[in-house]
Structure 1
Amino acid sequence: MSFQAYLDALEAKTGKTPRELLAEAEVKGFDSLTRAGVVAEWLRDDYGVGRGHAMAFFHVLKNGPTISAKHVGTTGSHRDESTELQLDGVAARGSS
């Protein structure tokens, strides 16, 4: 599963775009210094999100929307289209 696919699945599970979840995390006082377990627990308790999807979100919370180019342009199951993750949701991209 690509990094972007994790975020898209997170949106489907929570009903909120990654950007909306970032805003909610900020209201809760979470930032790049917050421990991953705290963020994963919040997403699990409030939205029923599993650890893998929570960790993808945590990466964005901690590091922003840029990811490694390691899988960009590859043909493997972890391939991403770009090093920049889309945080405004699936509908904003016109994808399904």
Structure 2
Amino acid sequence: MSFQGYLRTIKEKTGLTPAELRTKANEKGFTANGLLKPTVKAGEIVSWLKEEYDLGHGHSMAVYALLKGIKNEDSE
């Protein structure tokens, strides 16, 4: 699945855009200045998204990549 495919599925499942997920991550204290805090591990993001939005590992890792700055909304 392409990164854009992951983002589409995440939006369909949660109703949240990447920008809204960034806001939610910030509210949870996972990010600072728009990027993931260095102390936050991928497993924490995966657990949060599984518990609150029932996202699987792959989709959660796509959100992690967004928050970490590895990918952005325009990535393929």
Q: What's the TM-score bracket when you normalise by the shorter of the two chains?
A: 0.7 to 0.9
User: 2:30 — aligned with what?
Assistant: 30
TM-score by length of 1: 0.66
User: 2:64 — aligned with what?
Assistant: 58
CA displacement at 1:12 relative to structure 2: 0.7
Within 1, Cα distance between the matches of 2:11 and 2:56?
13
CA displacement at 1:52 relative to structure 2: 0.2
Q: Is 1:7 matched with 2:7?
A: yes
Count of matched residue positions in the alignment of Structure 1 and Structure 2: 68
* Rg (Cα) greater in structure: 1
User: 2:49 — aligned with what?
Assistant: 43
Greater share of residues in strand: 2
In structure 1, runs of 5+ residues without a counterpart are 67-83, 86-96
Within 2, Cα distance between the matches of 1:27 and 1:54?
17
Within 1, Cα distance between the matches of 2:66 and 2:16?
15
CA displacement at 1:18 relative to structure 2: 1.3
SS of match in other structure, 1:29: coil
Within 1, Cα distance between the matches of 2:22 and 2:67?
7
Give percent identity, aligned residues only.
43
Within 2, Cα distance between the matches of 1:56 and 1:48?
14
In structure 2, runs of 5+ residues without a counterpart are none
Runs (4 or more) in structure 1 with deviation over 4 Å come to none
Greater share of residues in helix: 2
Q: CA offsets, 1:37-85, max 9 Å, x none?
A: 000101000010000000011000001517xxxxxxxxxxxxxxxxx34
